[in-house]
Amino acid sequence: MRILVAGFGTRITDVSSLSSEGELVAADSPEQADSLVARGDVDAVVAGPEPWVRTWVFGLPADTRPAVLLTGAPPERLIAQADDWAIDLGGAPELRARVRVAVQRSRLRRRAVRRGNVDPLTELPNRRGVIIALLHAAARHRRQGTRLSLVLVDLDNFKRVNEQQGHDAGDRLLRKVGRILRGSTRKDEVCGRIGGDEFVVVVSGDSKHADLVCRRIDLALRDEGIGATCVGEELADGEDVRELYRRVDTQLRARKIQIRDYGPTPLSARASAARPG
Q: Which residues are catalytic?
A: 197
At residue 226, what is the residue type?
I
Distance in angstroms (rounded) separating the CA atoms of residues 44 and 104: 10
Distance separating alpha carbons of residues 231 and 277, to the nearest angstrom: 22
3-state class (DSSP) for residue 88: coil
Asked if residue 200 lies in contact with residue 192, where contact means CB atoms within 8 angstroms, the answer is yes
- Which string of DSSP letters, residue by residue, matches 161-206? HHHHH-HHHHHHHHHHHHHHHHHHS-TTSEEEEEETTEEEEEESS-
Considering only CA atoms, give the Rg of the chain: 23
Residues 69 and 6: their CA atoms lie apart, in Å, by: 11
C-alpha pair distances (Å), 88 with each of 7, 19, 103:
13, 18, 19
The CA-atom distances, in angstroms, between 108 and each of 2, 64, 98, 275 are 18, 12, 15, 39
